[in-house]
Structure 1
Amino acid sequence: MALQFIGIDPNTGDGESPTVWVDQERQELVLQGWKPGTELEAECAAFEVPGHAVGIPEHEAVIRIPARMVPMIREACDAVERPDVA
């Protein structure tokens, strides 16, 4: 798997590095972010909507991404949908 680096949180400091990549082979966005803390994770786990089971499956995670990274996420969406443009 070769990841395409899109961007890193512009306010990154030592040990802080929310990051956005694209995996073209799997057609997926790959996000690194902060762990949410138990309160937010519990709120997400309790959320009920059709097609979303209660709880967080062992193979999934809740992460936090700062809003200032939205432009990078948009760029990653464009890159994964239109790899010829990236």
Structure 2
Amino acid sequence: MSLVFIGIDPNTGDHESPTVWVDPEAGELVFQGWKPDPELRAECAAFELPGHAVGIPEHEAVIRIRARMVPMIREACDVAERAAGGLH
């Protein structure tokens, strides 16, 4: 796997580093962010969608990303889409 670095939140200090990468081989976005507090995690876990189980599977995570990182996320989407040869 060879990740493509897109960006890091420029407003973070020495002990924080929300980051966006793309895995072009898998066609996936990769995020590093803050863990949610228990209340947010519980709210996400309780969200119901038709055809989906309630809860957060053990192999999945909820993360928080600051809205100021949206331009990096857009760039990551473009990189992933180009790597995947467009939408399927």
- Aligned partner of residue 82 in structure 1, secondary structure: helix
Unaligned runs of 5+ in 1: none
CA–CA distance in structure 2, aligned partners of residues 59 and 52 of structure 1: 15
TM-score normalised by structure 1 residue count: 0.93
- The reply to whether residue 57 of structure 1 matches residue 79 of structure 2 is no
- Aligned partner of residue 17 in structure 2, secondary structure: coil
- The reply to whether residue 67 of structure 1 matches residue 67 of structure 2 is yes
How far does the alpha carbon of each residue in 1:33-53 deviate from its partner, in whole angstroms, 9 at most, with x for none?
A: 000110000000000012331
Q: In the alignment, which residue of structure 1 is the partner of 2:86? A: none
Q: In the alignment, which residue of structure 2 is the partner of 1:32? A: 32
Instruction: Indicate how the Cα distance of structure 1 residues 51 and 31 shifts in structure 2: closer, same or farther if over 3 A, else same.
Output: farther
- Aligned partner of residue 15 in structure 2, secondary structure: coil
Amino acid corresponding to residue 30 of structure 1 in structure 2: V
CA–CA distance in structure 1, aligned partners of residues 52 and 68 of structure 2: 27
Count of equivalent residues: 84
Moved runs in structure 1, 4+ residues, more than 6 A? none
Q: In the alignment, which residue of structure 2 is the partner of 1:45? A: 45
How far does the alpha carbon of each residue in 1:25-74 deviate from its partner, in whole angstroms, 9 at most, with x for none?
A: 10000000000110000000000012331110000000000000000000
TM-score normalised by structure 2 residue count: 0.91
Alignment RMSD: 1.3
